[in-house]
A and B are shown apart, each in its own frame.
Chain A
Amino acid sequence: MKTVKKVLLFLRDVIELYIPMVSFCLLFLAFVLQVVSRYVFNHPFTWTNDVIVLGFCWSVILGACYTMRKKGHVQFTMLYDIYKPKVAALLRLLGNVIIIATFICLVIPSVKFSIFQNFQKTAVLRISLTWVFLPFAYFLCSVIGYSIEPCVEDVKVLMGIIPDAQEHKIDADMKAAANAGEETK
């Protein structure tokens, strides 16, 4: 069981971190090559455009999953921070339920649409556009997955098993520390 979990976690890293990192590097190098080929060799490459666009789509969408894991998406926390622990838990739970429900509805249409795009290819490398659109379906599943964990935590807070959600506690502590002038790091 432990090995399976390890393999799955590694796979998650591959999809959400290593592939976006490699995609970004490829996009970056393709851009540099594009400029060099045009102005140094006077012979512009055409395939670089395909690599750039594909690299961009993959690094952005799969990177957004990593951002979700690291809780790096922009959030409006002013109100959440001032709620009492149980109110905060209830409201965050409601938010996550909305996300999970709507994203579940989006998964199948997104997969179908991505597969449908198979008839279209990129201009030079002739890569199927399914590969451009399909990561979005993974992104939806990933967001659903990352939204479940806080739901469980919030249910525990509401049932009185734990006093406060970790994120709410940290936010409240940081706010107090900032106001008191303590080291917040």
Chain B
Amino acid sequence: MSLGLVVTLVVFVLIFILKMPIAIGMLSASACYLLITGADLSLVVNQVMNTFYTNYVIIAVPLFIFTANVMNSGKVTEMVFKFCNGVCKNLQGALGQVNILGSLIFSGMTGSAIADAAGLGKIEIQAMKDQGYDDGFSCAVTAASATIGPIFPPSIPLVIYAMLSSTSVGALFMGGMIPAILLTIALMIYVGIVSKKRRYPKGEPISRHDFKVFVINAIPALLTPVVLLVGIYTGIMTPTEAGAVAGLYALLISIFAYHAMGWKELIEVIKQTIKDIGATSIMIGASTVISYIVAREGLASSLGAWILSITTSKYQFLLLVNLVILLLGMFIDTSTIQLVFVPIMIPVARALGIDMIHFGLVVTFNMMVGLSTPPFGMLLFITSGISGTPLKKIMKEIMWPIVVMLIVLVLITYIPEIVLFLPKAAGLI
């Protein structure tokens, strides 16, 4: 191991100890490496800007972030919530079920767990609290159901993974459908069991007329995933273009169908989008410089050789990957895991003959579980923040939903067909 690499690793560890912004710290670590090895410092600007300039796929990321922000600022979330309320009214613990079904529908529009928890989650938690659900349970279900967001298409993490692994975004999106539905069903069963035990109420009766109104009002919002997926899979638009079309569609329905957005709101949404994409994209850029260093030092191949010397079984490797990501997910943000650690794992997975679509879904699913795992689960902080519920209560209640998610994770890890069936059937792989 060269001195440059040692110093880079030290700075990398310092990022977490010294509270440096992670992307900025990664650039600093890269600069240290280049300084020590005497390499050209312009490599940083070259790597970062070339990634943005030549990687067409990642342009989908800001577009989906924009769509999510539009959806959250308009009345879309409210319409989705009312529609799900009508659908689930006869189920035990109806609002808990609404929470999960709502997340599945919302995930077809935004592809961001954070957007789901912060937008739809706010309405859901309040409604659940009003009907006597435990605060911790309401937040835990909201956090767990938000996990569905990046699994079901469209998905921001899957777009980034596609860039990292050079796989088809369309195939990844399609591969995420069955796991997302499976997770939805598993979480609904869990909510049903808990609701029966704790006697959470059924939904309030809704007249047929009101339900019709809810359905009609929700149709424009419900059509978003249809527009997106039909557009992508009929070949009318690329997944990146679909991001723009989804954003335009979200804008149009917010302005014309729901009358919920004026100039002022639109400017705020764009401002928020700029702030969000600044954080996400610079992380992507910084990670490419780190990847360059990792490749130059032969770190990935050494690690790969080491792993292959321990095991040549892809199932053992997947178990190892799952354990590592779960552990990292407890402490580190998902974007860091995806952009720093996953690129090191991809060549090994490829060498072991693991399908890249399958691997992408496994790691993405696992990272999303990490959003809910204490002590550093972003979704726990968000649900606590928007509801004023103590973190302790949420952490206590999140344990079982995590177990449910892990069961689904094991299923998709060891039964690859759950992921690969649809892309294969559609002829995408």
Interface residues of A, Cβ cutoff 8 Å to B? 17, 20-21, 24-25, 27-28, 31-32, 34-35, 39, 52-53, 56-57, 59-61, 63-68, 70, 72-80, 88, 91-92, 94-96, 98-99, 102-103, 105-106, 109-110, 112-114, 129, 132-133, 136-137, 139, 143, 178-185
Contacts and interface: CB of A to CB of B under 8 A. Distances in A.
A129 B27 CA distance: 22
A32 B245 contact: yes
Given A35-B241, A57-B52, A61-B52, A106 B281 contact: no
A60 B61 CA distance: 11
A57 B49 contact: yes
Contact of B59 (A27, A74, A94, A133): A27
Given A66-B274, A110-B44, A35 B236 contact: yes
Interface of B: 11, 14-25, 27-28, 31-32, 35, 40-42, 44-46, 48-49, 52-53, 56, 59, 62-63, 66, 236-237, 240-241, 243-245, 247-248, 267, 270-271, 273-279, 281-283, 285, 331-333, 335-336, 375-376, 381, 384-385, 388-393
A70 B14 CA distance: 22
A35 B244 contact: yes
Contacts of B28: 98-99, 102-103
A17 B46 CA distance: 24
A73 B62 CA distance: 15
Nearest to A114: B45
Given A112-B42, A184-B388, A66 B278 contact: yes
Interface centre among B19, B22, B270 (most CB of A within 10 A): B19
A76 B24 contact: no
A66 B52 CA distance: 18
A57 B388 contact: no
Contact of B35 (A64, A88, A105): A105
A129 B50 CA distance: 10
Contacts of A184: 384-385, 388
Given A21-B271, A105-B35, A136 B279 contact: no
Contacts, number: 213
B62 A103 contact: no
A91 B273 CA distance: 31
Nearest to B40: A109
A80 B274 CA distance: 27
B388 A181 contact: yes
B48 A136 contact: yes
Contacts of B32: 102
Contacts of B274: 17, 20-21, 24, 59, 63, 66-67
Contacts of A70: 275
A76 B340 CA distance: 15
Nearest to B23: A73
Contact of B282 (A17, A73, A75, A78): A73
Q: Which 10 pairs across A and B sit closest by C-beta, in order of nearness?
A: A95-B18, A67-B278, A31-B244, A73-B21, A63-B278, A113-B42, A181-B390, A102-B31, A64-B278, A80-B19
Contacts of A20: 274, 278
30 contacts: A21-B271, A28-B63, A28-B247, A56-B52, A56-B62, A60-B278, A63-B275, A67-B275, A67-B282, A72-B279, A73-B21, A73-B24, A74-B335, A76-B15, A78-B375, A91-B19, A92-B19, A102-B31, A102-B32, A105-B41, A106-B41, A110-B41, A113-B42, A113-B45, A136-B48, A178-B390, A178-B391, A179-B390, A181-B389, A183-B388
B23 A74 contact: yes
A180 B391 CA distance: 8
Contacts of B25: 95, 98-99
Contact of A91 (B18, B53, B376): B18
A61 B53 contact: no
